[in-house]
Every structure is written in structure tokens, then in C-alpha cells.
Amino acid sequence: MKMRRLGRTDLCISAVGLGGWPFGGGYDWGPVDAAQAEKAVLAALDAGINLVDTAPVYGESEAFLGRILKGRRNQIILATKCGLAKNGSWTDHDLSPQTIRRQLDESLARLQTDYIDLYQIHYPDPKVPLEEALLELARQKQAGKIRHIGLCNVTAEEMSRAARIAEISSVQNEYSLLHPQKGEAVFKACRETGASFISYGTLCGGILSGKYKTAPNLRRADARNYFYKCYRADAFLKAQETSNRIKKLAEYLRVFPAAAAVAWALSNQTVSCALTGARTAEQILQNAAGADVTLTPQDLAFLEGRPCTCTK
């Protein structure tokens, strides 16, 4: 597994990371097979994946990972988040200092650790100035509860503001072949500040792994219905065009489609890590293989559906 430095820190993170959302059972992803999920996490560690990313709002994900990773803490870079909380069928934004402190302490308890390697603001809170939240995170960093600060789902302007308040080690935004524009705006800010860019949604909830031949009949409450909009009937056919290109190239390269999709994200030199979710050990290995796939300019043009103007 290839490793990249996390921002300007002394930590190195795996080029492919493990996203913990599917392990939580929240947002109606469906029931979690605990034994199978444990095998998936252990397969990730065996494959050299060391960045494990989760969040309180993911349901039971933190508690599950805390149990599985107990005794293996020195093998992983543990990342979690603050600022979101489930409130019935709603998700509330709250980055007030008191909520940050409470959520951090609760995460530490669930994860069975006394520090978080990368503590991230999950989403900006329109009610709380970003600067106020960052000052609280800086206090928690000074107290030793967190080692490094990250941001998720931010604009380039928010990233630049944040970097004037605290040292920002990473930005985690959605970035994939289906949504390349969602990462581009902050790439320059990451390069200017030395922060790592971590992509999430790299497989768009699995659609870019080639697992669906027809639009799946997802439950109404399933997060993929509203978070990854490519599952909607009006967008699925267009998403399939991209998925089919991935499958064709993957067949030519003799790799898994998921590996080709991950390799596309990692071909961007600003992307330090591509987060992928998985439920099984097999999916983990397919995703992790993307770190070892090198795509040519011709491959990239084909995946992106644009004419290849490359010359030998």
C-alpha cells in the first residue's frame, strides 16, 4: 500500500482509506453483519490501509470500530468528526464549543482511545462562525485529545479562512468520476496551505464498482437515495455510462472496476487518500488494489469521456 504524508504532520496515511459509514447501521443502509464487517476491517489492515474514518452521526460505527480496533491502535490513523447529530429523521448542525467538547469526549469513549489522530469538522454550521469552532478544536489539540485538525465539505474560501486560524492538516470533500467538480475548488487552497485532500464518495456509494446492471430498488430512507443522487432513475442511466467505461478499462487492464475508479481519484496529485466504504473483505481488497494501478493520459481521457489528444 502506498503511503502519503498527512498535510505537514509527521503522520503517513494510506493512499486508500476505509470509510466507516456502512458499519453504522444508520441512515438505513440496511442491517450490518457484524462478523462480515469485522472481517472487512481486518482485511483492510492486512492490505496496508491505516486511515480509518468515521463519525458520531454514522450510528454505531464508532462503537463497532472501537471494539474491533482495540489492541490495534498503533496500526491505524483514526479519524472522526464533530458538528452533526441525529434528531429523529433530521440531522442537526451544531459546532458550538460545548457540543464539540461533548461529542469529542463521547467519540473517545466509543472508540476506546484517549486521542483522535485527525478530528474533523463534518460540515460548517451556519449558526456558528467557523473561527469559533476552530479555536475550540485548537484548545482540544493543546489538551492532547486530538492530534490534528481537518475540515470536511468546505469551500475554498472557508478553507483559506480556516488556515488563518489553525493549522489544517486535511480537507475531505466528495470527489469521484461522477462528481469531479466537487473537489476542484479546494485543490489550490490545499496546495497553498500544505493540507492533504481526502476524497470521499470515491465509488459513489458503490455505483462505480460496477455492481449494478439496473437501478437498485433502494428503501426510501436509504442514504443513497438522497446523498448519492446518481441512484435516482433520472440520473442512473448517465451514471451507468461512466460505470461502463470504468468496466471496459478495468477489463483491459485486468483489474477490478472499483480499483480503476479509485486509481482515477488518486491520479490527481493533490489527492492524498481515496476513502472507500466496504461491507466485505472482498470489497476491501478490490478497493485497495486501486493504489497500485497507474493510469495513462489515454486511460484518463477514456474514463472521463473526452477525446484523447495525447501524443506518444
Q: Which residues are catalytic?
A: 58
Q: Cell numbers for 34, please give them.
A: 457484524
Specify the DSSP class assigned to residue 293: -
Strands 90-93 and 84-87: antiparallel
Q: Cell numbers for 248, please give them.
A: 471496459
Three-state DSSP state, 169: strand
Contact 272, 118 (CB under 8 A): no
The amino acid at residue 210 is G
What's the chain's Rg over C-alpha atoms?
Answer: 19
Burial per residue of 204-228, b for 16 or more beta-carbon CB atoms within 10 angstroms, e otherwise = bbbbbbbeeeebbebeeebbbbeeb
Dist CA 149 CA 166 (whole Å): 8
Q: Given CA atoms 182, 240, 274, 224 in this order, what sign does their dihedral have?
A: positive
Three-state DSSP state, 302: helix
Q: What angle do CA 48, 17, 67 make, to 5 degrees?
A: 80
Dist CA 173 CA 198 (whole Å): 7
Contact 194, 160 (CB under 8 A): no
